[in-house]
Amino acid sequence: MITTDICIIGAGPVGLFAVFEAGLLKMRCHLIDALPQVGGQLSEIYPQKPIYDIPGYPAINAQVLVDNLMEQIASFNPGFTLGERVEGLDRQSDGSYIVTTNEGTAVHCQVVVIAGGLGCFEPRKPEITNLERFEGKGVAYMVKNPEQLRDRRVVLAGGGDSALDWAVFLADVASEVTLVHRSDTFRGAPDSAEKVFNLASQGRINLVLQSTITSINGNGHLQEVSITAKDKTVTTLPADHLIPLFGLTPKLGPIADWGLTIDKSAIHVDTTDYSTNVERIYAIGDINTYPGKLKLILCGFHEAALMCQSAFRYVHPDQKLSFKYTTVNGVPTF
Amino acid sequence: MIQFTIQDRTGDRQPIEIPEGINLSLMEVLKASDYNILATCGGMALCATCHVQVLNGLDALSAPQDAELDMLDTLPDAESDSRLACQIRIDESVEGAIFRIKSDEPV
Ligand SMILES: Cc1cc2nc3c(=O)[nH]c(=O)nc-3n(C[C@H](O)[C@H](O)[C@H](O)COP(=O)(O)OP(=O)(O)OC[C@H]3O[C@@H](n4cnc5c(N)ncnc54)[C@H](O)[C@@H]3O)c2cc1C
Ligand code: FES
């Protein structure tokens, strides 16, 4: 089991900055995020957009801000569990918590900080008969390890950049790649679209356009997909894997069942320290709500600083906290 | 006055009237009218949480721009009459239109 002082749920900008504030007070952090990369909304929704309201930066590209935050916290050596979604929370008799993920990772901590933003980014699922029945049995919504697809028959669905990129990549890995798209043109990067059309003309990608996947079947594991064309004709294709790639959408998810006071998908907090109604659980950033709340990165940073001052008493109950500027002592490391 | 109709997720239809000359998007009108839509990106065609289907009056609307078409391409349930509410300006082109809210309900 992973042991840490603070378990931070969400590695968006606010969760990342909380590591810095915690580190200044000699508290160790472990972050968990459902996405395979850090950065939250900045990396997932708008990595190339400039942000204009970060103090000290007249303009900063969203992904650069995330990279800078990672550099800023590097000396505190936070732990990361990425690509896993927090599901369980168990209070221990001494008041500490064990946080668990959908993949069975367990983190023992003194304090839980929910920096979950809009919630978990979950895959957008198409309406395909039997889809959920075959999740983990041939159906996946992201390619975690392309090697698992080696010499297998793979069907991809979608028309965005990730569908195009994976079709090109898997043409060299899988025994058969089929890309199903509802239109007859691709609006992803023109370069990727051209590669897909070229590979299709060489017979290395099977392109099925103007069509959608309507049902899937198998005996325990996926065996075939049924594809319905615009003219309503249905064809059935043998397949070992189906990967629908339609992007992600945020959902509050399991946090909603933890006994926290929640209003319209946001957690109520006390603005003196951003604590929730449950002892040792704090909520900072876009996921919390209080009178006057602004969903801005800057506000989340402020909340992280106050939260850490309050969390200190649970992590170091025997020590007295004295406030110091970083300019006085510099940045301590572990 | 510009008049159009919103069909919510339960199938209920409500007429909406907006004075002419108000520079709002359909997404802003839906939010202001307390429809439960996320509109995460605030109208930048980056999140698709304002997806609507135009049941009537599609041809009268101004054509979607590249950013909107790119986003619609990533939706599993987009149809040829799909649009992003944040990219539709409320002007005379929406008169008589019927919009069905398609995006998931926020949870
Ligand atoms: C298009 C756009 C433009 C914006 N522009 C600006 C701007 O100019 N200035 C500004 O200040 N703000 C801007 N914002 C808002 C800003 O992005 C948010 O305020 C900020 O991302 C909030 O950070 P956060 O860390 O609280 O949450 P998020 O960035 O949402 O990160 C939360 C993370 O928690 C993870 N998570 C949630 N639940 C779980 C769980 N159960 N298990 C595991 N992981 C979980 C999610 O996967 C996510 O990665 C913009 C937002 C958008 C969409
Ligand atoms: S509000 Fe995000 S796409 Fe319309």
The pLDDT tens digits of the residues spanning A272-311 come to: 999 999 999 999 999 999 999 999 999 999 999 999 999 9
Q: What local confidence, expressed as pLDDT, does residue A330 receive?
A: 87
Alpha-helical (H) ranges within B33-99 are: 66-73
Query: Does residue A123 have a pLDDT over 80?
Result: yes
Q: What local confidence, expressed as pLDDT, does residue B103 receive?
A: 86
| Ligand found nearest the CA of A82 | 1
CA torsion A216-A219-A220-A226 (nearest 10°) is -10
Q: Mean of the pLDDT values across residues A112-121? A: 94
Which residues in chain A touch residue B69, judged by CB atoms under 8 angstroms apart?
Answer: 187
Q: Provide the pLDDT confidence category of residue A14 given band limits of 50, 70 and 90.
A: very high
Centre of ligand 1 from the C-alpha of residue A231, in Å: 42
Closest ligand 1 atom to A46 CA: 1
Which residues in chain A touch residue B70, judged by CB atoms under 8 angstroms apart?
Answer: 160, 187-188
Query: Does residue A140 have a pLDDT over 80?
Result: yes
Residue to test with chain A: of B49, B75, B82, most A Cβ within 10 A: B75
Q: Mean of the pLDDT values across residues A55-77? A: 98
Query: Does residue A121 have a pLDDT over 90?
Result: no
Max CA separation in chain B (angstroms): 35
Q: Provide the pLDDT confidence category of residue A329 given band limits of 50, 70 and 90.
A: confident
The residue that leads in pLDDT, A191 or A73, is: A73
CA–CA dist A62, A46 (Å, integer): 7
How far does Cα A82 stand from its chain's mean position? Answer: 7
Q: What local confidence, expressed as pLDDT, does residue B107 receive?
A: 64
Closest residue of chain B to A163, computed from CA coordinates: B74
How far does Cα B39 stand from its chain's mean position? Answer: 11
How far does Cα A188 stand from its chain's mean position? Answer: 22
| Ligand found nearest the CA of A45 | 1
In b/e form, how buried is each residue of A216-237, taking b as 16+ CB within 10 angstroms? bebeeebbbbbbeeeeeeeeeb
CA–CA dist B106, B36 (Å, integer): 7
CA–CA dist A286, A299 (Å, integer): 9
Q: Provide the pLDDT confidence category of residue A250 given band limits of 50, 70 and 90.
A: confident
Q: In sequence order, what are the residues at sequence separation of 6 or more whose Cβ sits closer than 8 angstroms to the Cβ of residue A297?
A: A13, A14, A42, A51, A53, A54, A65
Query: Does residue A93 have a pLDDT over 90?
Result: yes
B48 lines ligand 2 (CB under 6 A): yes
Query: Tokens in use for B51?
Result: 């997806």
Query: Does residue A181 have a pLDDT over 90?
Result: yes
Q: What local confidence, expressed as pLDDT, does residue A248 receive?
A: 87
Q: What is the reported pTM?
A: 0.89
CA–CA distances in Å: residue A315 to residues A126, A135, A318: 45, 40, 9
Query: Does residue A189 have a pLDDT over 80?
Result: no
Which residues in chain B touch residue A183, judged by CB atoms under 8 angstroms apart?
Answer: 73
Residues of chain B with pLDDT under 50: none
Q: What local confidence, expressed as pLDDT, does residue B73 receive?
A: 86
Query: Does residue A187 have a pLDDT over 90?
Result: no
**Residue B85 C-alpha, separation from nearest chain A C-alpha, in angstroms:** 17
Nearest-CB residue to A126 (from B38, B69, B77): B77
Secondary structure element (H or E) that encloses residue A196, with its range: helix A190-201
CA–CA dist A197, A207 (Å, integer): 8
Q: Mean of the pLDDT values across residues A234-248? A: 96
By most ligand atoms within 8 Å of CB, the mutation choice from B31, B49, B89 for ligand 2 is B49
Residue to test with chain A: of B31, B36, B74, B81, most A Cβ within 10 A: B74
The per-residue pLDDT of chain A, averaged, comes to: 95
Q: What local confidence, expressed as pLDDT, does residue B28 receive?
A: 96
Which residues in chain A touch residue B41, judged by CB atoms under 8 angstroms apart?
Answer: 45-46
Centre of ligand 1 from the C-alpha of residue A250, in Å: 10
Closest ligand 2 atom to B50 CA: 4
Q: What local confidence, expressed as pLDDT, does residue A328 receive?
A: 86
Q: In sequence order, what are the residues at sequence separation of 6 or more whose Cβ sits closer than 8 angstroms to the Cβ of residue B21?
A: none
Judge whether B39 and B86 are in contact, CB under 8 Å.
Answer: yes
B29 lines ligand 2 (CB under 6 A): no
Contact call for B106 and A246, based on CB within 8 A: no
Judge whether A244 and A128 are in contact, CB under 8 Å.
Answer: yes
B5 touches chain A (CB under 8 A): no
B69 touches chain A (CB under 8 A): yes
By most ligand atoms within 8 Å of CB, the mutation choice from A9, A19, A41 for ligand 1 is A41
Closest ligand 2 atom to B43 CA: 1
Instruction: Establish, for the pair of chains A and B, how many residue pairs have beta carbons separated by less than 8 Å.
Output: 57
